[in-house]
Amino acid sequence: MGIPEYHISIKDLPREERPRERLAAYGPESLSDRELLAVLIGSGSGTASALDVAGMLISKFPDGSLKYLTKATLEELESVPGIGRAIAVRIKAAAELSKRLGIPDRRKAIIRTAEDAGVVLMEKMRYLEAEHFCELLLDTKNRLLGFEVISVGTIDTSVVHPREVFKLPIRRCAAAVILAHNHPSGDPSPSREDISITGRLIEAGRILGIEVLDHLIVGDGRYVSMREHGFGLYQG
């Protein structure tokens, strides 16, 4: 993709229209996606302003979605004229910070509801391109003890075995766990296999004295709580 014909240097803009000055005067929420990226990009290149480079980067986003930044490799970012390694690293760091800001401090998090668990899990799992089976470990007061990835890949009974699921909870003396896995398709509807696996793990947890409080299936921007939706797994 070539340099846009509408190229204009940011220095040529009135001071009150420049992204950095507007951010300082009116706050970051006043800037468009393109302007925020221009602030990260900085000075642009010799033939394109930071706004031009930001526009070319956004044109690569599927459906204009900024979540592309969490998935794009450094090499993909660098394929945009005007973005070198230093700027690409800066953009990836900003994308990662935006994800982490959505995750509560695990040292203080208390999980009482599916919504509480969803807040912890959504930003961490919604953009994963492979299927991950994970768990949250809780103490007797429902405080979050840790997060564990059990397996990566297609979820079935051979990879989600009780000995793997409960190994760390036993070692950490966890009182309960919340299971979670993502559907990279974005649709969190549970499959027959999801329901079967959940039932097996609930029974195994009862034998071990570690309660399986819930199983959340994470999609893109939404999740399904197996407990809240029933599926005949949780009684009482």
Number of domains in the chain: 2
**Residue where the block lists tokens 């029974």:** 203
9-13, 29-33, 71-75, 122-126: least confidently modelled range: 9-13
Strands of the sheet containing 144-152, edge to edge, are 144-152, 132-138, 176-182, 211-218, 223-225
Note whether 33 and 86 are same-domain residues: yes
pLDDT value of position 185: 86
DSSP 73-96: -HHHHHTSTT--HHHHHHHHHHHH
* pLDDT on residue 233: 61
Instruction: Identify which has the larger pLDDT, 159 or 180.
Output: 180
Reply yes or no on whether the pLDDT at 16 is more than 50. Answer: yes
- Residue 216 maps to which CATH number? 3.40.140.10
- Alpha carbon 29 to chain centroid, angstroms: 21
Would you report the helix, strand and coil content of the chain in percent, each value rounded to 5?
45, 15, 40
Domain range for 38 is 10-101
Indicate if 91 and 160 belong to the same structural domain: no
pTM of this prediction?
Answer: 0.57
- Which of 41-55, 152-166, 191-205 is modeled with the greatest confidence? 191-205
